[in-house]
Each structure stands twice: as C-alpha cells, then as structure tokens.
Amino acid sequence: MGSDGLRQPPGPIRRWESGALAHAVSDPFGLGPLPWLRGSENYFDDTGHVVPWYVDHAPAPGAADVPRSRSATGLRTADDVHRQIKGFASPGAAAPGEAIDFHVTVDPPQQFSMDIYRIGHYAGDGAAKITTSPRLSGIVQPAPLTADRTVSCHHWWLSWRLQMPSYWNVGAYVAVLTTVGGYRSHIPFTVRDDRPADLLLLLPDITWQAYNLYPEDGRTGASLYHAWDEHGRLLGEEDAAVTVSFDRPYAGAGLPLHVGHAYDFVRWAERYGYDLAYADTRDLHAGRVDPGRYRGLVFPGHDEYWSTSMRRAVEQARDRGTSLVFLSANTMYWQVELGGSPSGAPDRLLTCRKNRGPGRPALWREVERPEQELLGIQYAGRVPEPYPLVVRNGHHWLWEATGADEGDELAGLVAGEADRYFPRAPLPEHRRRILLAHSPYLDTDGAARHQETSLYRAPSGALVFASGTFAWSPALDRPGHVDPRVQRATANLLDRICKRA
C-alpha cells in the first residue's frame, strides 16, 4: 500500500527505516538485514580470525551517514551511500544448465568473492553453501542512470557469470558478496525448471522490486512508493517513480523487503518433504512455467503487484483443477505492466501508474476485476500492531488436529496488513466456500475492523486458500513467531492438495 504522501522531516534516514516507511506498516517481524542462515559456518576475516558468516550491524539512530568502523568480527554490511559492494543478477531466475550474470560495483576497487547458498531447512541451518566463486576483481561501476525517477544500472559491466551445472537443485538462492576489506552484501536469485511437481512456489520478485528504494542515499533512489527531494527528504507516492528497473541492486543489505516470508515457507516445506518446484512471478508473467503441471501454486509472501498475464494464467490454472494457496495479505492489489530494458532484455522494467497520467486506473478493483473474484477475500487495510487471529468454523478439516477450537485466539497472527470478505464485491464461482477466521482489530485511525481467512472449492475441484494476514508464513518457521497450530493447518491444506490426505 501507499504511504499517504508522508513527507519526512529533514535529516538522515536510517538504513531500513525508509524501507519500513515504504511498506507503510511497522513490520512485526523485523525488516533486516535478515539472518536467513542459522548455521555455524565460519569465515576467516582479513586479519586471519575466524568469524561467523553473518553479523547484524544495524547502526545506532543517527548513524546512517557515518562510515561504519570495523566490528569486532571484521564484517560490515555495505550501504547505498558508499556502495562498498552492491550488485544485481540478470536474469533473476534460470534453469540448471543455464547461466546467471552478476553485475557488481566495489568501492574502493578491490577483490571480492561470491558464496552461493540455497535456502532450505538443512537440519535447521536455513541454507546450505553450494559453491564459491573464484576471487574476482572488483571495479567501481558507473553511477546509476536516472530518468523520470527511474533508476537503472543496466550499463554496469558483467562481473561474473555463474554457469549452473545441470545437477543443481531448483530453489531460492542467495549470493553473498564479500570484499577482502570485510564488507558484505547479498543478491537473491531463483533456480527453476519445468519438471512437474506437486507444488509450484512462486517468489514475488515483482512486488519486491516495487518496494526497492535503491539507492537509499537520500538523493537518487526511488520506488513505486517513494523518492527523495533536493533536501534529502523522503517524498510520498505522488512524487514516486512510475517505472522501476530490475537492473539495480536491492537497497540496504541487498535483500528485498519481506523476503523472509518466502524463506520461512521454503524452510518449513522442505523440512517436511513437500515436492516443490520454483519460479519467480516474472516467469509466470512471461509464460515460462505451465501452472497446469502442478497440483497447487503457492504464493508464500507479500504479492501485491500482478500483471494481466499473471492473473489470466492463475485463473486458467484454477479452472483446470490446480489449487491456489495465498499465504499473505494485500495480494493482487495493483495492476502492472512489464517491459524491456534499454539493453533489450525482456521484463526488466516494471510500470504502475497508480492513477497518475494517461491510461486506466491501476487498482484491479477499479477496473471491475476485484481481487475477491480470485482470492475469495481482498485487501482491507493496515494493522498497526499484531492482533490475535480468531478461529472460525473450528470443526473444519483445516483446523483438524491443530488443537484450535471455535473462537480460540492465535496470538499475533493478524499483523502487517489484513484481508476480509467484502459483501458488495463479487465472489468467485464455487462449489463450497467457508471463512476460517474472523479477527477483530483496530486500524491506524483506531477504528474497529476485522480480518478473515478464506477457503473455497472451485467448480473444477481446485481449492483456493487465502490466509488474509502477513503473519501466516512467519508462523511456519520464524524464530519467535512459530505457531504449531498454523503449521498443522498448513500441512492439512497442502496434504489435501498433494493428495497425501
């Protein structure tokens, strides 16, 4: 959602603070940098001391523009002001046997390396290192190009081409970039293939890019929500970019906002042995995956921005019997277009006019195609602080063996943003439909609202589940947020889709 035109007072914006503003909510799960790897793997720093791979170096308030001193471990997180090391991948997803190109800037120039990790359970570690690049020569790439608030680094030189062996597993991957001077950044990417599987997991890279404020430098960065004025103040949606580019790093530590929601689901699902295929939402948009090859499509994270071809593909899959699982809220809110980059690469520019300029309105519900026609519920508003999810229809098989009964409250499970049923909006065609939670909360203005969780069976037999809250995926495998009742309810749903039940 937007930021209601917030204009921030002059002064430095702390790392990730502007990201939180861009999301217009106080994220109850923490925005980052995200400790997605939980294992004990160690690295040697440039002094020869053994250090843990990851250290959270969130600066103290007011310290954003002050160069960070070396920590006790020797590792520091790169930032968008000094660009110690930043990079992006092109394309963002590829199949085993294909290549991913990495474009990296390093300032001052020095050697760096890239460690490639695959996200998964891995005995609780959360990821496993798959390979390491050779020592690479880092250069200072040209400054990002800007035009009408669009920021692009498509002119950066190629730094390393990763030719993926044919035997690599599909999945969500992260490249960890480390300079010899001890600065670190990240680049997420996806390894996909076209084999049939029970579930196709779709990583929301289009929505990730919509929120990307790179460079978060108080001058040139812009997202579909924010930009900066000449005094370094963060401007609101009416002054933000209309088009953003995938040819640029992600702001801050290099991981998208809410990337952890997808990783939470991945770790949990791989722990319990679900047969998963992987793709990005741009793959869905471009027709690179056939949704009909899977029993179910899973949208594990915040997935707010959808193209017409994405929606058409998902609706056709549902109508042919493929089930749909939406584990967040505010799904498919904005209608977007994708276009080629100046270098000719397809689907590298994301455009959403948000009711500005020529063309149709950008909200799906304003073009007479409300989200509820697919999801069964739709976006209702922000949730300023976590509230309990209140179980409804506790006799339903989704809640079987969870220990949750009618009216039980699952603490903290309504958070971030929430969906509900809109009586005046059309419903999808269905055989059966049921609401599985009805949860009161107070919105940002103190008004009484409610969240709902939905499940319906389409005429094709496909199940369509929508959690209606940001907090569902973190409850699967996020330390401090795990809820065994949500874990079992999700297993009940997926087991039925995968014909395990």
| Averaged pLDDT score across all residues of the chain | 87
Closest CA to 329 of 207, 418, 202, 430: 418
* pLDDT tens per residue, range 147-192: 999 999 999 999 999 999 999 999 999 999 999 999 999 999 999 9
Q: Are strands 349-351 and 334-339 parallel, antiparallel or unpaired?
A: antiparallel
Mean pLDDT of the 317-334 span? 97
Q: Tell me, what's the pLDDT at 342?
A: 83
Question: Hey, what are 58's tokens?
Answer: 């969130």
Q: Which tens digits make up the pLDDT trace of 368-411?
A: 999 999 999 999 999 999 999 999 999 999 999 999 999 999 99
pLDDT at 40 (0 to 100):
46
Question: Averaged over 483-487, what is the pLDDT?
Answer: 98
Tell me, yes or no, if the two domains 17-245 and 290-333+371-497 fold the same way. Answer: no
Stated pTM of the model: 0.89
Question: What is the average per-residue pLDDT within 93-111?
Answer: 97
CATH classification for the domain delimited by 17-245, as one of 2.60.40.1930, 3.30.390.10, 1.25.40.10, 2.40.50.140:
2.60.40.1930
Q: What percentage of the chain reaches a pLDDT higher than 90? A: 73
CATH code for the structural domain at 290-333+371-497: 3.40.50
Ranges 38-52, 99-113, 275-289: which has the least confidence: 38-52
Per-residue pLDDT at 49: 47
Strands 448-457 and 463-466: antiparallel
Residue 360 has pLDDT above 60, yes or no: yes
Pick from 58-62, 140-144, 230-234: least confident:
58-62
Q: What is the pLDDT of residue 61?
A: 37
pLDDT at 36: 60
Who's near 145: CB < 8 A, 6+ residues apart? 151, 152, 153, 154, 155
Domain spans of the chain? 17-245, 290-333+371-497
pLDDT higher than 50, residue 208: yes
If pLDDT is split at 50, 70 and 90, which confidence band does 12 have?
very low
Q: How far is CA 376 from CA 323, 465, 467, in A?
A: 13, 8, 10
- At 231, the pLDDT band (50, 70, 90 cuts) reads confident
The pLDDT of residue 417 is above 70? yes
- Is residue 207 predicted with pLDDT exceeding 60? yes
**In angstroms, what CA-CA distances link 179 with 111, 114, 249, 254, 373?**
6, 9, 16, 15, 49
